[in-house]
Amino acid sequence: MLNTAFKLRHLILACVHHELRAQYSKSILGTLWMVMNPLYMCIIYTAIFSSIMDIGGKKFSYVIYAATGLITWNFFTDIINRSQTIYVNYTNVIRQQNFPILCLPIVVMILSSIDFFISFGIFSVYLLITHSFPGWCILASIPVLLIEAFYAIGLGTILGVLNVFFRDIGKMTTMLLQVWFWLTPIVFLMEKLPQKLQLGLMFNPLTSIMLAYQSIMVHHQLPKWEVLVYPFLAALITAFLLLRFYAKHSTDLLDEF
């Protein structure tokens, strides 16, 4: 994929530039929306859950906890949402002969990464100002981020391909992500839940990913790497299913365009 991305770099960058212009050309606040969304959600959840979760005087820690979860969750959902619409949005371009469909997931990854690193960069500045930066431990978030991105792009691309055939996929994806949010320890604390419910949530691949982020950003500790085996396997299975599905229906997919 890296070799393909390098060969198609000019086309990929052109698509990225086009998407960025379309996204912010008529926006007054522009890229500030990347920060404002997780910021106001963080304020709301902090006001509610810091009391419900009986955190007491640890509200500052909860701000970091909630921000960590919301920023990384937004990265995941942004990849999913962009992926499930990009094939439909680029229908006219794909109809052109020899257009490399493979470049579209790469475009999605670049766009979502830009949004993420702007938000995460501002969050890191906040951590530095408040003397809460995790130090070198933050480098441990790189493999966690790669697993999350790999899983999201695989799942999102499957939804994107299905959306070409069934346009209800977009609405179903919105509902799925709303439920998925509350099945992931983003704004609530796992240790506050009953033991059986904690075990049930561990079947969610994103639970292990969020716990790893929280270990790094909130507790300033390296994550338990063994818990990331499950989401890594989930990402591999998703990629395998995507390749099988595309190999079987690639002709039908092109005909739909």
Tens of each residue's pLDDT in the chain, 257 residues: 556 666 777 888 888 888 877 776 666 555 666 667 777 777 777 776 666 655 545 545 788 898 999 999 999 999 999 999 888 888 777 776 667 787 889 999 999 999 899 889 989 998 999 899 999 999 999 999 999 999 999 999 999 888 888 878 888 999 999 999 999 999 888 888 899 999 999 999 999 999 999 999 999 999 999 999 999 999 999 999 888 877 776 666 666 65
Nearest-angstrom CA–CA distance, 34 and 26: 15
pTM: 0.88
Cα angle 37, 39, 43; round to 5: 120
Q: What's the CA gap between 62 and 113, in Å, rounded? A: 25
**Alpha-carbon distance 257 to 161, whole Å?**
11
Residue 207: C-alpha distances to residues 184, 195, 197 (Å): 5, 15, 12
Provide the residue range defining the domain that includes 91.
Answer: 2-256
Half-sphere exposure of 16 (CA within 13 A, CB side): 19
239: its two tokens: 């990629």
Residue among 187, 124, 177, 113 at smallest CA distance from 150 = 113
Structural domains in the chain (count): 1
